[in-house]
Structure 1
Amino acid sequence: MVATVATGADNPGVNSSPLVLLHAFPFDARMWDDARDLLKPVTFNQCGGDRSPDLVVIADDVVALLDERGIERAVLGGCSMGGYVAMAVLRRHPDRVAGLVLADTRAGADTEEARANRLAMAARVEAEGVGWVPDAVLAGLLGPSPDAAVVERARELVLAQDPAEVAWAQRAMAARPDSTDVLAAADVPALVLVGEHDALAPPALARELAGVLRRGEYVELAGVGHLTPLEAPDAFASAVLEWRRRAGV
């Protein structure tokens, strides 16, 4: 089952492969809105529905979307959870991946503590809804001096999410495997992009991730945190476009 398609168009010009952007948790495809004009991405809402909480089902949705649009290979870009989905696609369908943009994400599986925290949040969301979530998570997701409009937009997006999908995503992320070996074996151009103040997937970890990749590049965006496409959409889009021109994808 393909999740709801939000928007998308093939990238024009020198870029030979369409760009598919996969959103972070707990958001939806609208997190890419301010980068759309520059990047012209294909995006969709990553929905688990009543399926087993495993990111491979979203990975298969990505490939089904490519098939639906007649796209043989795509550059996959993911922010945070979206990066985990991109890695799952690479594991299951490596022949469909022309390049990677891994933003504010990590290759490793959760620690036991992180897994327990995810499962606790899933249970609370199911019991109480998402009204409490922005106050609990946004301070840790955004940079030290976020624009008020960015904070409001992030809050709006979180509050719009279905509690069942939020819980599903947390359980799916808690179950994900380590992807280091998968990334190390990938012979495709890759951009690792991170916010200077990302506390969840910090620059030091991002530099390690870039080092794992055979053809990895590293870019750090100043002044922002874990949600680079929301906090600095123009800088994010420019970094991706410049990398695509250099890499020829």
Structure 2
Amino acid sequence: MQLYSRSAGSGLPVVLLHAFPLSSAMWLAQREGLASACRVITPDLRGFGGTLLGGDEPSIDLMADDVAGLLDREGVDRAVIGGLSMGGYVAMALCRRHPDRVRGLILADTKAQADPEPARANRERIAAAVLEGGTDILVTESLPAMVGATTKERRGMVLGRVRGLVQAAPPAAVAWAQRAMAARPDAFGTLRSLTVPALVVVGDEDELSPITDARAMVDAIPRARLAVIEKAGHLSAIEQPEAFNRVVAEFVASLTP
């Protein structure tokens, strides 16, 4: 699958993979704020934004292979691979399937463990509901947990922007991605075998992938450091873009000789 992507800047390539059920539009502040520090590449994962869904079985591994294909088309041998939430799952799968393409890893507001059975069942319930009735269920059920308390209280424009991105998600892509995430394997073995540096980022108000999940990943990765973004929830890159960009820029600088 050929991924549609937006790029900005020059230098060390940094691929940023978006959260569910958003698109590369979520990385606007990163394309603007990090362009002076690196070459920011932000693809739409299959089915979202400008990328077609295709007819393949749902699979995070397939999404990772899509990203490897994008690197080929962009002429990039190795890149820093970053992902937030679902994008983090794809980034970890890329590390397992294409480790030679990874120069560094950024995992933001995500987790390495596989879904327990109740979570898998809930993903299937939402997938079926979206295919039947559209994305309204995401706005009522998923959106409240996607941003932190501070954003809900003080950042009406940010909340409105996230709501718009959620509502724009195609139902077929939402269902496909839910089923792909439900089937993903545990990634701790992949993290323990990493040979590249990693940055783990988490919002201190993240309810979906809390700080305990971030610390578990840091403990598993041989060369990792943790950055906690204050007053941010699950979408830390959107909720606190300046703080997010600062820790990413520092990490990228540490990789550049």
* Same-fold status (TM-score > 0.5): yes
* Separation (CA, whole Å) in 1 of partners of 2:163 and 2:43: 20
Contact 2:129/2:137, CA 8 A, preserved across alignment: no
Mark the CA change 1:67 to 1:10 in structure 2 (over 3 Å): closer, same or farther.
farther
Number of equivalenced pairs: 244
Q: 1:50 is matched with which residue: 41, 52, 55?
A: 55
**Which of 221, 224, 244 lines up with 2:252 in the alignment?**
244
2:203 maps to a residue whose letter is G
In structure 2, the partner of 1:3 is 3
For residue 165 of structure 2, what is the aligned residue in structure 1? Answer: 157
1:23 to 8, 18, 21: 18
Q: Could you tell me which residue of structure 2 aligns to residue 120 of structure 1?
A: 125
Shift of 1:10: 5.3
SS in 1 for 2:150: coil
1:23 and 1:80 in contact (8 A); partners too: yes
Unaligned residue ranges in structure 1 (runs of 5+): none
State the secondary structure of the residue aligned to 1:223. coil
Cα deviation for residue 3 of structure 1 reads: 2.1
Q: 1:234 aligns with which of 242, 245, 248?
A: 242
2:166 counterpart SS class: helix
Single out whichever of 105-114 and 31-40 deviates more from structure 2: 31-40
Name the residue aligned to 1:68.
73
Residues 69-148 of structure 1 aligned to structure 2 (within 5 Å): 69-146=74-151, 147-148=155-156
Q: Higher mean Cα deviation, 237-246 or 100-109?
A: 237-246
Q: Shift of the alpha carbon at 1:24?
A: 0.3
Amino acid at match of 2:198: A
Q: Which of the residues 174, 190, 195 maps onto 1:187?
A: 195
CA–CA distance in structure 1, aligned partners of residues 9 and 196 of structure 2: 19
Separation in structure 1 between the aligned mates of residue 9 and residue 67 of structure 2, nearest angstrom: 15
Residues in 1 aligned to 2:159 and 2:140: alpha-carbon distance in whole angstroms? 11
- Structure-1-length-normalised TM-score: 0.95
Matched residue, 2:33: 38
Residue from 228, 239, 248 that aligns with 1:220:
228
Q: How far is the alpha carbon of 1:233 from its aligned partner?
A: 1.0
Q: Percent identity?
A: 45
**Could you say what the CA RMSD is over the residues aligned between the two structures, in angstroms?**
1.2
> Displacement, 1:44?
1.1
TM norm structure 2: 0.92
Runs of 4 or more above 2 Å deviation: 9-12, 246-249
Hey, what's the Cα distance between the residues in 2 that align with 1:92 and 1:174? Answer: 19
- Would the aligned equivalents of 2:126 and 2:137 in 1 still touch at CA under 8 Å? no
Q: Deviations over 1:7-37 (max 9, x none)?
A: 114543xxxx300000000101101012211
Q: Distance in 2 between matches of 1:49 and 1:103?
A: 27
Distance 1:234 1:248 in 2: 21
CA drift at 1:49: 2.7
Superposed CA deviations along residues 90-110 of structure 1, whole A, max 9, x for unmatched, are: 111000000000000011100
Q: Measure, in 1, the Cα distance between the counterparts of 2:245 and 2:116.
A: 32
Q: Does 1:197 align with 2:205?
A: yes
Which residue is 1:211 aligned to? 219
